[in-house]
Chains A and B, each alone.
Chain A
Amino acid sequence: MSLFIRKYKPGVVYNTQILWRLNSTTAETQKQGEEEEEFRVLDILQKKTRIQKKAARRADIQPDRSEKMPTDQNWGNVWPGPRSFHPSSVPLPIRQGYVPKGQAPPGKKANAELMKIPNFLHLTPPVIKTQCEAIKPFCTEWPKLLNSEEAIEKHYPVEVITSDYCHASPTIRNPLARIVTMRVKLSDLKLDSRARDKFLRLVGDKYDEKTDLVTFTADRCPVRKQNLDYVNYLLTACYHESWTVEDWEKEKCLEDMEYYDFDMHPSKKNLVNWFFMSNNKENNLSDDEIKSFDTSSIPNGVEYKNAVSELFNEGENVTTLKNYDTAVRKLLGLPEKKVVD
């Protein structure tokens, strides 16, 4: 009985068999039991060993479409419109992305980098060519006399820039199409120096000095036609307004001038006064006489005049100041500046 107690464990199947055997042949089972007995680790948490399931592999994977493409296919049919990158439609060994050390850049499959960037795969030269051919019957011939840029500029001085948008969506309207830009060269407008100054003040930063272009842009009205009318109105109004002379324009004083005229400023008076004093001559010129006094009669006066005008017109910087320095030294008869070693 003691044997039974020792051997018995609940839920163990083979024990019943052993018990049964025990009943029949006691001596034999005793021997067998000693053999099977081994040290078993107490498994408290009863963790089940995880069995790794093998991923079911699909046996019937088709080869990539890009590998099956014929070399003489019509690419325009494969990629007809703008679209983000798709690896199996593009038969090119493209790689893009972060390059780990000693490895090649990531390939095209499952590559977000390639999908992020815009591509122009729909605009290959043959496609463009065919599309142009398709539009050609709807175009008129280019005027023969307008054969150069100069001729175009001469006959069509006003340039109007608009954009058309074409896309597949429920509406064919694009709000950006309403924006109208008009450009005209300032030299093409008939303006005298006063009117030109006024025109420039009216248009402000719409004038670009480098290209001599005045640019009006309108996007305030909902329709292009209205914006175009508005831009035309702006140009017309500015032009005619710059030709009208108001009463208050006579009050324009020296500080309002758009450039520095040496003869009108106190510097000229200083120079002339200095010249008379240094030659011990009596100076009884009136202001107008000083303004019309010829600078070239003063030795080195012209150079000085140019230096001062440059200093004021171009603004103060190292170069203009240096020019002023040399001009003044010449004027005053001082030794030239030494070069630092």
Chain B
Amino acid sequence: MLSRNIRFLARRYSQAVTFRTTECSPSQHNENQIGLFYSLNNDLCKQLFAHGGLPKSYMKQTKTFTETTLMVRLPALEIMNCIKATDFDKPAIRYLLYGEIGAGKSLTLAHLLHYAYEDGYLIVHVPWVSEWLRRVPRHKEMSNSQTHEGFVDLPLDAAAWLLHFKMQNQAHLKKGDLKISKEYVWSKREKTPQGAPLAELVEHGITRVKYSCDVVDALVNEIKILSNSKQCKTFVAIDGFNTFLYPLTRLRTPTKKKVAPEEVTLTTSFMELTKNDWVNGVIVLTADQLGVPPEHQESHLPKYLLYKKGFEHIDPFVPVEVGRYSEREFFSCASYYRDRLWLRGPPETEGELKLASACNPYKFMEMCAPL
């Protein structure tokens, strides 16, 4: 009886508030829901974003709010619209999300990932490229590549990513209908035979960390072949793609030589994947100022961040700007924060916050924290 009452109350509540939408499937979102929040299923959230994908500060907030919600915003809808209108026999189209720091590029990407998951894409998602190339913990695992002369491997990072890949594509990998096209010989005793399921390849990379970078390389090739033969459609999402194109990484070889991103095997694999020489796929990239050192963060526009080389690599691409909140989005977000008791105080506070944060989503979130 009590639980029924609570459920009833909950339903009444969700119908009464104006900042939520009950539509939980991204493919059904449309312009009427711009600025409204929809909540993600907890299990799904764990599956998609357990190994990164949502910004850290946002993860903290979801913990505080005891739910993961995403705002339906125009850039994501636009890309979904474009994907729906895409002819999948043509080369993969590349979209580039750009915008100021904290405008919501990563969350737009998360929204799109949810869409891709619902739509049954094979997801190739790199949560944050800087994690590989720019964040150098005390003991960064690095080794010289055995197969590529003069290249550097990041075996632990590659293995972690393979785990992420496995996690996100559980459904596809369990089915086992994705087969490998050729035999891969790793060493005298280890090899992955032709026709083995893709899951085996991934598993090999996770268990034999030494070969994880080569596995990633092989995986990328296999995914391309599988997509070309229409066995699956692939959704590639790379956050902070411009870090691949910045002239230097912060990695150093044991001989103290500075490493360029082209000399990292992971870079070559994902650069290969972002070419448009394959079909039946969607590629969404983001260009983020935070992915490069502060002295090169003068502009958030794509050509500046990607350099000419990167621009020509992904050319022709569709630039999609993730902007600041519009009036409607801002007040929807404010009322969401009020609902979560994250924001209190007189109603004039919103106006002040709007001016103080300049409608920048991240700044707004930060400013509401002590209120």
Q: Which residues of A contact B (CB under 8 A)?
A: 265-267, 270-271, 273-274, 277-278, 280, 304, 308, 311-312, 316-317, 321, 324-325, 328-329, 331-335, 337-338, 340-341
Task: Report the Cα distance A335→B84, complex, angstroms.
Answer: 10
Task: Report the Cα distance A332→B91, complex, angstroms.
Answer: 10
Task: Report the Cα distance A266→B314, complex, angstroms.
Answer: 11
Residues of B within 8 A of A266 (CB): 312, 315
B303 touches A311 (CB 8 A): yes
Contact among B85, B91, B315 with A267 in the assembled complex (CB-CB below 8 Å):
B315
Residues of B within 8 A of A334 (CB): 82, 85-86, 93, 318
From known contacts A274-B91, A316-B303, infer whether A338 and B315 are also in contact, taking CB-CB under 8 Å: no
4 closest A-B pairs by beta carbon, nearest first, are: A278-B90, A316-B303, A266-B312, A334-B82
B302 within 8 A of A: yes
Residues of A within 8 A of B317 (CB): 328
B74 touches A338 (CB 8 A): yes
A332 touches B301 (CB 8 A): no
B301 touches A337 (CB 8 A): no
B303 touches A270 (CB 8 A): no
Nearest CB of chain A from residue B319's CB, rounded to whole Å = 5
A274 touches B303 (CB 8 A): no
From known contacts A278-B91, A316-B301, infer whether A328 and B276 are also in contact, taking CB-CB under 8 Å: no
Interface centre among A308, A325, A329, A332 (most CB of B within 10 A): A332
Nearest CB of chain A from residue B73's CB, rounded to whole Å = 10
From known contacts A278-B90, A278-B91, A337-B78, infer whether A304 and B316 are also in contact, taking CB-CB under 8 Å: yes
Task: Report the Cα distance A325→B94, complex, angstroms.
Answer: 12
Nearest CB of chain A from residue B88's CB, rounded to whole Å = 11
Contact among B302, B315, B326 with A340 in the assembled complex (CB-CB below 8 Å):
B326
B302 touches A308 (CB 8 A): no
Q: List 20 A-B contacts (CB under 8 A).
A: A265-B312, A267-B312, A270-B316, A271-B315, A271-B316, A274-B276, A277-B276, A278-B90, A316-B302, A316-B303, A321-B319, A325-B318, A332-B93, A332-B316, A334-B93, A334-B318, A335-B85, A340-B74, A341-B326, A341-B328
B142 within 8 A of A: no
Chain B 293-315 per-residue mask, 1 if CB under 8 angstroms from chain A, else 0: 00000010111100010011001
Task: Report the Cα distance A264→B306, complex, angstroms.
Answer: 20
Chain B 30-72 per-residue mask, 1 if CB under 8 angstroms from chain A, else 0: 0100100000000000000000000000000000000000000
A316 touches B91 (CB 8 A): no
Residues of A within 8 A of B328 (CB): 341
Task: Report the Cα distance A325→B326, complex, angstroms.
Answer: 21
Contact among A267, A271, A321 with B301 in the assembled complex (CB-CB below 8 Å):
A321
Task: Report the Cα distance A66→B276, complex, angstroms.
Answer: 89
Contact among A265, A317, A328 with B316 in the assembled complex (CB-CB below 8 Å):
A328
Residues of B within 8 A of A274 (CB): 91, 276, 316
B87 within 8 A of A: yes
Nearest CB of chain B from residue A276's CB, rounded to whole Å = 10
Residues of A within 8 A of B89 (CB): 280
Nearest CB of chain A from residue B323's CB, rounded to whole Å = 8
A317-B301, A332-B316, A333-B87 given. 20 additional CB < 8 A pairs?
A267-B312, A270-B312, A274-B91, A274-B276, A277-B91, A278-B91, A280-B89, A308-B315, A316-B299, A316-B301, A325-B318, A328-B317, A328-B319, A332-B93, A333-B85, A335-B82, A338-B31, A338-B74, A338-B78, A341-B31
From known contacts A274-B276, A335-B82, infer whether A316 and B318 are also in contact, taking CB-CB under 8 Å: no
Nearest CB of chain A from residue B221's CB, rounded to whole Å = 18
Residues of B within 8 A of A341 (CB): 31, 34, 326, 328
Task: Report the Cα distance A304→B316, complex, angstroms.
Answer: 9
B183 within 8 A of A: no
Residues of A within 8 A of B93 (CB): 332, 334
Interface centre among B299, B315, B326 (most CB of A within 10 A): B315
B131 within 8 A of A: no
Q: Kindly report which residue of chain A lies nearest to residue B81, judged by CB atoms.
A: A335
Residues of B within 8 A of A316 (CB): 299, 301-304
Within 8 A of A (CB), among B316-340: 316-319, 326, 328
Nearest CB of chain B from residue A17's CB, rounded to whole Å = 92
Residues of A within 8 A of B315 (CB): 266-267, 270-271, 308
